Amino acid sequence: MKNDKLTPSIAEAVRQCGLRDGMTISFHHHLRNGDYVLNMVLDTVAGMGIRGLTVNASSLFDTHMPIVDHIKNGVVTGLEADYISGGVGAHISRGILKKPVIFRSHGGRPYDIERGASPVDVAFIAAPTSDPMGNCTGKTGPSACGSLGYAFPDALYAKKVVVITDNLVPYPLQDWSIDETHVDCVVKVDQIGDPSGIVSGTTKITRDPVGLVMADTAAKVIAASGLLKDGFSFQTGAGGASLAAAKYLKDIMLRERICGSFGLGGITGYMVDMLNEGCFETLLDVQCFDLKAVESIRTNPRHREISAMHYASPGARSAVVDSLDVVILGATEIDLDFNVNVHTDSQGRIMGGSGGHSDTAAGAKLAMIIAPLSRARLPIVMEHVTCVSTPGETVDVLVTQKGVAVNPRQKELAQRLRDAGLPVCGIDELKARAEAMTGVPQPIARGDRPVAEVLYRDGSHLDTIYNV
Amino acid sequence: MSSLVRKSAAGTMESSDVFVEIEPADGLEIEIESVVQQQFGQAIEQAVRDVLCGQGVTGARVRLTDRGALECVIRARVETAVRRGKESA
């Protein structure tokens, strides 16, 4: 019997995996802004004198600010991610990395790892519960995060896999997510994360009247689209207005006794309520956003964990996004061709990333962007977005508080919405209405050094982000 | 039309608002810090000069901390700060 997986320290696991200068290590982001593991591992490898590493993280949050120092001191020289929050993003935008960051989507990342376009040498998997052989799960333990969906490609395709846990249980862990056949080492540490940063206690619906108007309109657009009937499937984000849209949608579904098939995505307590009240048969969950979602995935067999590949990989024989009816998405900017930016703010500074934005937009029958006409004097609709995160040909409708713009490719949808009495107008009209309030913004200056390359889900090049 | 007699302020630091501080000085000094500096910096300064001119203020040190306020908000906040600065305490 192989009984030597349990390794006394991260450093020992790093040695056993043969990590050397220039290799690629990977991390998943289910512990979100409470994650300790990425920083622990980078501190350890820095202390061991290993340099020139590429970090492939499904997402980076501001809790990962120490990576900035590891970049400056040469421990980390390459970065690949699906999302980078504003704190770390500001440093990247200043140009601290010689090599541009590679941005992928949540579907593109597993596709590129699986097909070898983005090989991983050692994957570090933060596991809220594991047994000594590496059967592990996110559903239980003091640092429970629910689904481990984004960690599956790392576990399946990395050359070496290290599970790091703070809750070691006797073999065999019964309800595992990732199984021992993939795992080389298991390390027990005191804490893998700060529970208050891993999941929020409650998800709140916006009280902003503009947000509520947009949400109400969004629900009416879905109802008028012809897609809202038995078997309906739906994904929405955790943003205030998106959640409010889900609330109005739920009201319509309960009133008209519509029983949907599945809710998808990053799952919030709100989607759990919709499941429990009969709006959906199933939730398919790649990431939990709050405690209610974690509790639900642990206890309700109709709330299923799915892998990143199953969620959105364009290389899969099929992925759930391919069966999705409606997705509600946000935007920092959208342009006259319906291209959407979720990577940078309007100064061009990195503060986000695709996540599943472009994957769900490509898969869903109705991809809806919900955004106010302007934010802090900046119109949402631009001539050209600062960065193309999601191509306009996959975006169907923009909902604002003043009107609904339908992609000209969707003539039938536009007619349905008009017939339902919704305020349909051209996207150029929304731009003009915003600019009448805000004035016409002067173009922003940007540097001439690429700091990030944005890849589409199929691996093709979408856009380049420059230093600011 | 009277000139400024004291230091005053108007507005807030909330998003989409502007915080205006103004005090008597020789000549006009306008300092603008804005989240939309690149897009609207010039337009903001022009709006401030317009209001000061309309209020007959020729000597003032004005400092704006702008959180993306619309032009009508900027004009209203500057005008309020000026009026407060003209009132004797």
What pLDDT score was predicted for residue A237?
82
Give first-to-last CA distance, chain B, whole Å.
17
Q: Return phi, psi of residue B21, to 5°.
A: -120, 140
DSSP E strand stretches across A106-146: 122-127, 129-130, 136-137
Q: Classify domain A209-444 at the CATH superfamily level.
A: Glutaconate Coenzyme A-transferase (3.40.1080.10)
* Residue in A438, A439, A444 closest to B38 by CB: A444
Per CATH, A6-198 and A209-444 having the same topology is answered: yes
**Residue A216, CA atoms < 13 Å, CB-side half-sphere:** 11
Nearest CA in chain A to B67: A376
Q: Given CA atoms A407, A412, A413, A419 in this order, what sign does their dihedral have?
A: positive
Cβ(B33)–Cβ(B64) below 8 Å? yes
**Residue B59, CA atoms < 13 Å, CB-side half-sphere:** 10
- The answer to whether the Cβ–Cβ distance between B16 and A377 falls below 8 Å is yes
Quick one: CA torsion of A240, A320, A160, A47, rounded to 10 degrees?
-10
Residues of chain B in contact with residue A347, where contact means CB-CB under 8 angstroms, are 38
What pLDDT score was predicted for residue A182?
97
Q: Among 3.40.1080.10, 3.30.43.10, 3.10.20.30, 2.40.420.20, name the CATH number for the domain at A6-198.
A: 3.40.1080.10
Tell me how far CA of residue A467 lies from CA of A56, A101, A116, A186, A271, in angstroms.
21, 12, 29, 40, 38
Size of interface A-B (CB pairs under 8 A): 37
Which structure tokens are listed for A270? 């709100």
Tell me how far CA of residue A34 lies from CA of A51, A59, A86, A197, B84, in angstroms.
26, 12, 16, 4, 47
- Measured distance CA(A180)–CA(B5) in Å, rounded: 77
Rg of chain B taking only CA atoms, in angstroms: 12
Alpha helices for B25-70 (secondary structure H): 37-54
Inside any domain, residue B3: no
Look up the CATH number of the domain holding residue B80: 3.30.230.10
Q: What does pTM read for this prediction?
A: 0.94
What pLDDT score was predicted for residue A73?
95
Inside any domain, residue B2: no
What pLDDT score was predicted for residue A199?
78
Cβ(B1)–Cβ(B7) below 8 Å? no
**ipTM value:** 0.89
- Measured distance CA(A283)–CA(A267) in Å, rounded: 8
Q: Which amino acid is at A364?
A: A
Q: For residue A404, list its beta bridge partners.
A: A399, A424
**Residues of chain A whose pLDDT is less than 50?**
none
Report the DSSP pairing between strands A333-335 and A280-288. unpaired
> What domain range includes position B58?
8-86
pLDDT average, residue stretch B1-20: 91
Inside any domain, residue B61: yes
* Residue in B16, B38, B71 closest to A439 by CB: B71
How many structural domains comprise chain B? Answer: 1
- Measured distance CA(A143)–CA(A166) in Å, rounded: 8
Interface of B with A in 62-81 (CB under 8 A): 67-71
Given a cut of 70, is residue B89 above it in pLDDT? Answer: no
What pLDDT score was predicted for residue A3?
65
Q: Given CA atoms A114, A319, A284, A170 in this order, what sign does their dihedral have?
A: negative
- Measured distance CA(A237)–CA(A211) in Å, rounded: 14
Place of tokens 């696991």: A13
CA A3 to chain centroid, in Å, comes to 36
- Pick from B36, B45, B64 the residue to mutate for testing the A interface (most A CBs within 10 Å): B36
B45-71 pLDDT, tens digit each: 999 999 999 999 999 999 999 999 999
What pLDDT score was predicted for residue A201?
64
* Residue in B35, B42, B70 closest to A437 by CB: B70
What pLDDT score was predicted for residue A465?
98
CA A47 to chain centroid, in Å, comes to 31
Instruction: Decide if B46 touches A, using CB distance below 8 A.
Output: no
**Coil, strand, or helix at residue A313?**
coil
* Residue in B36, B42, B43 closest to A378 by CB: B36
Domain positions in chain A: 6-198, 209-444
Instruction: Decide if B40 touches A, using CB distance below 8 A.
Output: yes
**Coil, strand, or helix at residue A23?**
coil
Place of tokens 């991983």: A120
Inside any domain, residue B42: yes
Q: Which helix (H) or strand (E) holds B18?
A: strand B18-24
- Measured distance CA(A52)–CA(A401) in Å, rounded: 48
- Measured distance CA(A268)–CA(A291) in Å, rounded: 8
- Pick from A208, A374, A377, A378 the residue to mutate for testing the B interface (most B CBs within 10 Å): A377
Residue B37 banded pLDDT, cuts 50, 70, 90: very high
pLDDT average, residue stretch B8-21: 96
What pLDDT score was predicted for residue A204?
76
